Structures are given as structure tokens and as C-alpha cells.
Amino acid sequence: MSDHILETKNLSKEFKGFTAVSAVNLQIRRGHIHALIGPNGAGKTTVFNLLTKFITPTSGSIHYNGTDITGEKSADIALRGIVRSFQISAVFPNLTPRENVRLALQRPLGISYHFWKSDVILQQLNGRVMELLEDVGLADYADEITGELAYGRKRALEIATTLALDPELMLLDEPTQGMGVEDVDKITALVKKVSANRTILMVEHNLKVVATLADRITVLQRGAILAEGPYAEVSQDPLVLEAYMGSTHA
């Protein structure tokens, strides 16, 4: 297999004359934590939506493990092992954290269309559910109503649910957005922990998190790639300093 788990070739998206993403050539190395950064409106989330086919690219192609997946549907891409999280925490609010995680685990059982079976059958997954909830520090909240949990816990639950699918490539859209300092450190540690044996592509605003975690960084600006490389290199790039980090680091 090639070094690159995910590759895009000239990936572009236009919305009625406005080019949101323009000829992006991303190469994500297997096993890396790859960060996608850039100012607001640079097209980071659009790239995520393109990669998971929540929106369809205008042109260009996406290759996963060497296979062209440009024409596939969102659910099929998830089945291939690319699982994403969302900018706004994506949980099932009226279900319990236990049920949230179990929903991810039940899919591989192949019984999800079996409306004639009792859901008692899903209790066989409880052990694994609790392991995952423990990993993210939510074991004590397994049977609360998810919607009533604190924001940071919802994000942690989202990561646990994503992990339950054991994805080969995990796409995290701003995992620390809107969190207090304590939670940011927790999530950073969690992402580091779960990055073993898998590849992570993350959009992140918090540069401290990026500096701690990312093996490689791509900087987007106005839908196009401005720079790419390790943090130390990118953070010294004069173009990047001017366009994005200028205000933060200069």
C-alpha cells in the first residue's frame, strides 16, 4: 500500500461562481495526525464535507488507499473506514451516552434492519460500550440523557462514538472548539491517545493544540493551499505569518 492513506487531486468546489475550494491537492500520510488550519472562511469545513461527500465536488478526485472514492455516497465512505465528527457536537441528544456509542457498535452486527428482534440483543455490546466510555471519562454518565451533559462531555462522547467504529481515518472538525482550558487539555490528550494505529485529519483553530499534536500541517487560505509541512517549518513561513498567524504570533 502507498504511504498516503488519503489523497485529493485538484479538488474544487464552486457555489454559483464563488470558489470555496480551489484545486486542493492534499496528501495525508498513514499514521499521521494531520492538521488543516487557516483563517475563517478558508474552506476547511468545506474540504471535510467534500471528503465525506456531504457535498459533491465540482471537479477533482479523492483517493482513499489508492481507490478513487469520488463517486461514492457518504454512508459508503463511512463503511470504508473514514469517519468524521462535526463542528457542532454531533450526538443523539435524547438518547443516553450508552445508546449513542452502542449505535456505532451495532452496525457491524448486521442486524440493524431487523425490526422483529428485541433490542435486548444489543446488550451483548455493553462491555465494549463501557470500555469506550471509560476511555473518554464518561463511564459515570452512561445512563444520563446526553442532551443534558456539559459541552465538553458531549464532545468526548462524540469521539467515543467515532472510535467505536474503529475508523482507519478519523476526521475531526474542531474538536476543541468552544471549550474551556481544562477540557482542551483533556481532549488534546485524548486525541493523542486514540491516534495510535490510525490516521487523523483535523481542522483546528487552537494553534497550541496543533503544535502539540500535528505531525504535518496544511494551511488553507481562500480555498487554496498556502503552505504545507511540519509545524516548525510552516510557522516560520513568511506567507503564512502574513496571512494567518501574523496577528497571533508576530
Partner 1 sequence: MNKILWKILVILGLAAPFIVYPVFMMKLLCFALFASAFNLLLGYAGLLSFGHAAFFGGASYVTGYLVKNSGLTPELGILGGTLFAALLGYLVGSLAIRRQGIYFAMVTLALAQIVYFIALKAPFTGGEDGLQGIPRGRLFGMLDLGQIYSIGGSPVALNLYYFIFALFCLGFWIIYRTINSPFGQVLKAIRENEPRAVSLGYKVERFKLMAFVISAALAGMAGSMKSLVFQLASLTDVSWHTSGEVVLMTLLGGVGTVLGPLVGAFTVVTLQSELSSVGSWITVIIGVTFVVCVLLFRRGFVGELGRLLKKSL
DSSP state letter for 52: T
Q: Is residue 107 within the footprint of partner 1 (CB under 8 A)?
A: yes
Among 31, 45, 65, 90, binds partner 1 (CB under 8 A): 90
Q: Is residue 102 within the footprint of partner 1 (CB under 8 A)?
A: yes
What is the Cα–Cα distance from 28 to 64, expressed in whole angstroms?
A: 10
Q: Is residue 112 within the footprint of partner 1 (CB under 8 A)?
A: yes
Among 13, 32, 44, 84, binds partner 1 (CB under 8 A): 84
Q: What phi and psi values does residue 61 have, to the nearest 5 degrees?
A: -140, 160
DSSP state letter for 144: S
Instruction: Please say which residue, 119 or 140, places its beta carbon nearer to partner 1.
Output: 119
104 three-class SS: helix
Q: Is residue 161 within the footprint of partner 1 (CB under 8 A)?
A: yes
What is the Cα–Cα distance from 201 to 163, expressed in whole angstroms?
A: 14
Among 165, 195, 212, 229, binds partner 1 (CB under 8 A): 165
Count residues near partner 1 (CB under 8 A).
37
Angle between helices 151-164 and 126-135 (to 10 degrees): 130
Q: Is residue 122 within the footprint of partner 1 (CB under 8 A)?
A: yes
Among 58, 74, 87, 177, binds partner 1 (CB under 8 A): 74
Stretch that binds partner 1, among 116-124, 175-183, 191-199, 233-241 (CB under 8 A): 116-124
What is the Cα–Cα distance from 5 to 174, expressed in whole angstroms?
A: 21
Stretch that binds partner 1, among 4-12, 68-76, 188-196, 235-243 (CB under 8 A): 68-76
Q: Is residue 91 within the footprint of partner 1 (CB under 8 A)?
A: yes
CB 85 within 8 A of CB 171: yes
Query: In angstroms, what CA-CA distances link 201 with 5, 7, 30, 118?
Result: 11, 12, 10, 38
> What is the binding site for partner 1 (CB under 8 A)?
52, 54, 73-75, 78-79, 83-86, 90-95, 99, 102-104, 106-107, 109, 111-119, 121-122, 161, 165
